[in-house]
Structures are given as C-alpha cells and as structure tokens.
C-alpha cells in the first residue's frame, strides 16, 4: 500500500531534477490540476470509498511506512490548485492536521508539518476561516518537533 501511495504522490507532484550545472529543472511531465485530482479520486473509486477517507485511514495506521506514504500523497494533493479544498472539505482532515501527538517518528512529524505548510501556501487559504488559518500558522511557526508542555504540580500529602 505504501508504495502505491508514494507512486500516486510522485505522479501528482513529480520531484524537480538537478541538471549537470547544479540548476534545478522543473519536471516537464507535471500533470494538470484536473488530471491530478482525477487520479486522486480514482484511488478512492478503486477502493470503494472516498479517496480522502482511504488516505486518512492510511495516515492513521500503526505502520510508519504506510503513514509516510499517506503523508506524501496528502502533501502532493494539498499543493494542487483544488487539492487543499478537497482535503479540507473532508470532516476529519483539519483534526488530523492539528493533532500532532499521534505521530512519534521524526520523519512523520516533518512530513505532517509539510502538509500544513502546503495547505497554507495553497489556493484554498483565502477561503479558510481566520481561526483555522491562525491555528495552522501557529503550527507552522512552532515547527515539526514542537511538543506541548503541560505543567504538573507535585502532589504532596499534608
């Protein structure tokens, strides 16, 4: 499953290449937004579910490799014109983005943080409520390895 998620992510958002002089060359085979979203939708159709449901269930899996593949696909889709809108229209995607405690690996935290940044830089940003943008900006500013510190009072017997 993870290989398929990575493959679809690479098709939607091909990596840039470096030429012999060290310059970054954009891939010439970047699909249109419409074609990218059709490919993403096909992932759901093949599985008999909504594509976002399929990818979010993989993103919440216990296997790190499966989560990282799902994160790569969510990041690729969020970078697309309407992709972030499609993801944010799903009822559990925003909660997935703001819940950072579930991810325990360095790679996973960084990949999930990249999704937040992709959503913030997407065309969907002006359509979001101010409170959502503020929360996502706070998460982006805190970085991928932020841990919410809770103060505990020492309980003593009297």
Q: Is residue 139 within 8 Å of 100, Cβ to Cβ? A: yes
pLDDT in tens, 24-48: 766 667 788 888 899 999 999 999 9
Residue 138 has pLDDT above 90, yes or no: yes
Strand pairing partners for 24?
Answer: 18
Overall size of the chain counted in residues: 158
Q: What three-state secondary structure class fits 86? A: helix
How much is the pLDDT for 26?
Answer: 67
What is the secondary structure of 47-78 as a DSSP string? HTS-HHHHHHHHHTSS-HHHHHHHHHHHHHHH
Task: Give me the sign of the Cα torsion angle 106, 41, 33, 17.
Answer: positive
Residue 158 has pLDDT above 80, yes or no: no
User: Per-residue confidence at 134, pLDDT binned at 50, 70, 90?
Assistant: very high
Distance CA 109, CA 37 (A): 25
How much is the pLDDT for 25?
Answer: 66
Phi-psi region of 48 (alpha: psi -120 to 50; beta: other; left: phi over 0): left
Strand pairing partners for 18?
Answer: 24
User: Per-residue confidence at 14, pLDDT binned at 50, 70, 90?
Assistant: confident
Share above pLDDT 70 across residues of the chain, in percent, rounded to a whole number = 91
């Amino acid at each position: 499953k993870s290989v398929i998620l990575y493959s679809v992510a690479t098709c939607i958002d091909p990596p840039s290449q470096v030429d012999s002089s060290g310059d970054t060359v954009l891939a010439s085979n970047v699909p249109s937004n419409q074609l990218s979203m059709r490919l993403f939708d096909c992932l759901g159709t093949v599985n008999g579910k909504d594509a976002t449901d399929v990818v979010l269930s993989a993103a919440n899996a216990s296997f790190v490799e499966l989560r990282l593949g799902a994160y790569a696909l969510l990041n690729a889709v969020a970078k697309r014109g309407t992709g972030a809108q499609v993801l944010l229209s799903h009822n559990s995607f925003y909660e997935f983005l703001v819940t950072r405690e579930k991810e325990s690996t360095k790679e996973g935290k960084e990949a999930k943080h990249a999704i937040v940044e992709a959503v913030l830089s997407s065309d969907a940003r002006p359509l979001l409520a101010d409170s959502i943008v503020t929360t996502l900006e706070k998460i982006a500013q805190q970085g991928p390895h932020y841990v919410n510190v809770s103060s505990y009072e020492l309980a003593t017997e009297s």
